[in-house]
Structure 1
Amino acid sequence: MTKLRLTRTTAASAAAALSLSLVLAACSRPAGTGAEAASALTHIHGLGILDENLYVATHEGIHSPGADGAPVLVGDRRDDFMGFTVARDGTFLASGHPAPGSGGPSDLGLIASANSGRSWTEKSLGGEVDFHSLDTAPDGTVYGYDSTHGRLRVTRDQVAWEDRARLRALDIAVSPTAPGTLVATTDTGVARSTDGGRTFAPGAGQVLAYVSWGAADALYGVAPDGGLFRSADGGGAWSRVGTAPGGRPQALTAVDARRLLVATQDGVYESRDAGRSFARRMEVASGSGGH
């Protein structure tokens, strides 16, 4: 009986790792060059809450739910926002690729919005970097995963960047209480750093696609198959707390210890009970892949 349980666990982990590997491989593909219908968001890349308003970063710009739950474009930019986060001061930080036909370099570098996505300012690395994941530390330090070069980069002023560890990852999350502690999702499990991303322990344990740190004892992760997990010790041990509805996950944000946002194939869902139940906040018809 014990041998059977181990075999099933190993098979499940291998399947999850393979699924994440496919998503990681897709990350390196260039953004599409054709225009898509605004009502059919092909990919969701990031989620955020500001003043109780939901913001969804997609392949076709930043959207918020309208009165009927359908996505409504914020501002007039339809850029492919690959990386997106809402900083503690309310600033939107993003990266990705410009919309087809808009001109400019193929990689946005780091851009910022001080008015909830209605307009954007280039901060740094334009034409050089496409960050697929962005997160901020309690002291305002910005961490970005540079998917083009497979490297973690860090900035304190959003202009000058320091290159840190090389790794093949899909998502990163920074501790809300320890600025130098962060985790990254890899196809061998969650990799952890305690020196600001200069080095990472090898990825191990639970294979997850996306991670988000809502509180010191509430690091959440969603697996490629939609399984939702929580770690109280910064990624050492994980407990399954539920399942994200709506198909393959595309983004995850933990607002706090109990409030979660998760994007899947058919919409953006919110949980206020630590992932035990979800309500749909925005309805979309999106693609099957993540980043």
Structure 2
Amino acid sequence: MTARPTTRALLTVAGTALASLLLAACGGGTSDTGEKAAASPSSSALSHVHGLGVDPADGRMYVATHDGLYTVAKGQEPKLVGDRKDDFMGFTVTGKNTFIASGHGAEGSDRPGNLGLIETKNAGLAWTSRSLSGEADFHSLDSAQGIVYGYEGGRIRVSTDLKNWDDRATLEALDLAASPSGDKLLATTAEGVATSTDGGRTFGKGVGQVQAFVSWPAEKSLFGIDTSGKLSRSADGGKTWKQLTAVPGGQPQALTAVDADHILAATMTGVYESLDGGKTFTELAPLAS
């Protein structure tokens, strides 16, 4: 999610809202050691969210931001995980205590400007560089059935081992979502949600409601949030949508549906959680203006 070469097309086709999301999203690893990440004593107001996730090991909620990875919980201050304040542009949870990410090394660190694909197996305490260090900057990451899908440099890149990548379709997109069964890959475009049925090698034309971000936790529970923060649900893989509610805070920054009931969304004003399938949301943490 960045000011890619897609901005002009998005401005032309979908107006300024989706393009502004692209602009708003602009901006070597260590070996995994030690125990599960504990939140550091330092905390700060969150700003510029790029990703959200829940660790299936313990239900802890994570927010990937321009200035590091944080844990959030209702009624508590956000807490920085570990001591890395990298710009986590792409982020997704792939298993218990296991996340993958991409982005940019923090200023003053010895990490490269483009982190490539990095992985943690202890919930963010330490990260290992897996591939493309110094080369790639994934701004959308998703996984299903052991396959990782990334959007980087205007193209879909796919890996089964986090080391070797197959470059597939090129398209103008903001976000990706793989179906739980792994047989479909969606991309949010200025024309609507585009679908691939061949692993991201080709995509049909974007159709239907324009969504900024999508998340697909169950086959009949695909969630999308549009450029104004309206959340919708699709039971048919994005062909049709039913609007649920407007998430507080307007323009979205990230969306992750953990399952059909548990949904996390970040907007301009905060990180919000729904436990009733997107009908209502409560604030977990505010975002700095």
| Alignment pair present for 1:249 and 2:272 | no
Please give the residue correspondences for 1:209-228 in structure 2 after superposition, counting only pairs within 5 Å: 209-228=212-231
Please give the residue correspondences for 1:265-280 in structure 2 after superposition, counting only pairs within 5 Å: 265-280=268-283
Please give the residue correspondences for 1:29-178 in structure 2 after superposition, counting only pairs within 5 Å: 29=26, 31=27, 39-50=44-55, 51-65=58-72, 68-137=75-144, 139-146=145-152, 149-177=153-181
Is the 1:135–1:144 contact (alpha carbons within 8 Å) kept by the matching residues of 2?
A: yes
The 3 A distance-change label for structure 1 pair 72 and 15 is farther
Aligned residue in 2 for 1:202: 205
Q: Which residues of structure 1 form unaligned runs of 5+?
A: 1-13, 32-36, 287-291
TM-score, length-scaled by structure 1: 0.85
The 3 A distance-change label for structure 1 pair 217 and 62 is same
Which stretch shifts more, 105-114 or 258-267?
Answer: 258-267
Is the 1:16–1:225 contact (alpha carbons within 8 Å) kept by the matching residues of 2?
A: no
In structure 2, distance between residues paired with 1:114 and 1:163? 26
User: What CA RMSD, in Å, does the superposition of the two structures yield over aligned residues?
Assistant: 1.8
Is the 1:41–1:284 contact (alpha carbons within 8 Å) kept by the matching residues of 2?
A: yes
AA aligned to 1:143 is: Y
Count of residues in correspondence between the two structures: 262
In structure 2, distance between residues paired with 1:194 and 1:242? 29
Q: Percent identity over the alignment?
A: 55
In structure 2, distance between residues paired with 1:56 and 1:212? 15
Q: Which residues of structure 2 form unaligned runs of 5+?
A: 1-11, 28-41
Residue deviations 1:65-120 (CA, integer Å, cap 9, x gap)? 26743211000000000000000344110000011111332100100000101110
Match of 2:286 among 280, 283, 286: 283
Report how far residue 150 of structure 1 moved: 0.4
TM-score, length-scaled by structure 2: 0.86
